[in-house]
Amino acid sequence: MPTTDHKQQTPPSEGIRLQKYLADAGLCSRREAERRIEKGRVRINGKTVREMGLRVKPGDLVEMDGKKAEANDPFIYVMLHKPAEVVTSCRHRGERVVTDLVDLPFRIFPVGRLDKDSTGLVLLTNDGPLHHRLSHPSFDHEKEYLVETAPALDAKALKQMAEGIVIEGRKTRPAKVFPQNRNAFRIVLLEGRNRQIRKMVAACGAEVLRLHRIRMAVLNLGSLPSGEWRHLTPEEVAKLKTLNKM
């Protein structure tokens, strides 16, 4: 089971092993990199190194035989439990954004959007192809939300939401809707129009009190605390990459 405490993991912020860094830079294989390190042909920040366990950190200058080595950033996959009042963006003037909550030295991007007032699961990654497949509406990936309203919506209204409601001149796609209690329901969407659930609820004569995303495709938020993040497990990444036969 994945841990929810990112401090207990071995995050990429601790750097990349030197021999892997050299191999990722395309200069040689890992085994050859080890031989060259032993022979003193590698320098970090101007200092010759011969230790295999060293890690290259962001900002380090790595050279082999006097040639600068630049490795590509590793792919990063992060699940965040977004609190309210945080914007799902990399930059938004005067606002706190989701990337402010993730302490990593690599540039990562949120997949899709979650309203500032909404909470729950946000996926961030620097894997461009995966980002495209999960955010583009043509790929039909499910997103599941827990919604609380005032006043409560009756069975007729929930059926309307499931069948589709016209908002801003266009009918929403059919959805799966499951009553939870008197004023709450779960809804599973295959699309993500701007503030869609709030507008659907408003069209039924109610107001959203809480909107909380609990699932994206094969990823479940689970018990990850609000404001916390964790790396996806290799199994979760593998499942994501099987979507739409990546």
Q: What is the DSSP string of 210-233?
A: EEEEEEETTEE-TTPPTT-EEEPP
Q: What is the DSSP string of 82-108?
A: EPTT-BSSS--TTS-BGGGG---SS--
In whole angstroms, what is the distance from residue 135 CA to residue 113 CA?
Answer: 9
In the chain, DSSP assigns E strands to: 16-17, 42-44, 47-48, 55-56, 62-64, 67-69, 77-82, 109-110, 119-125, 143-150, 166-167, 170-171, 176-181, 184-189, 207-216, 219-220, 229-231
Cα angle 199, 188, 129; round to 5: 100
HSE (side-chain half, CA atoms, 13 Å) at 91 = 1
Check 115, 117, 127, 140 and give the catalytic one: 115
Is 115 designated active site? yes
Q: What is the DSSP letter of 38?
A: H
Q: Point out the residues that are catalytic.
A: 115
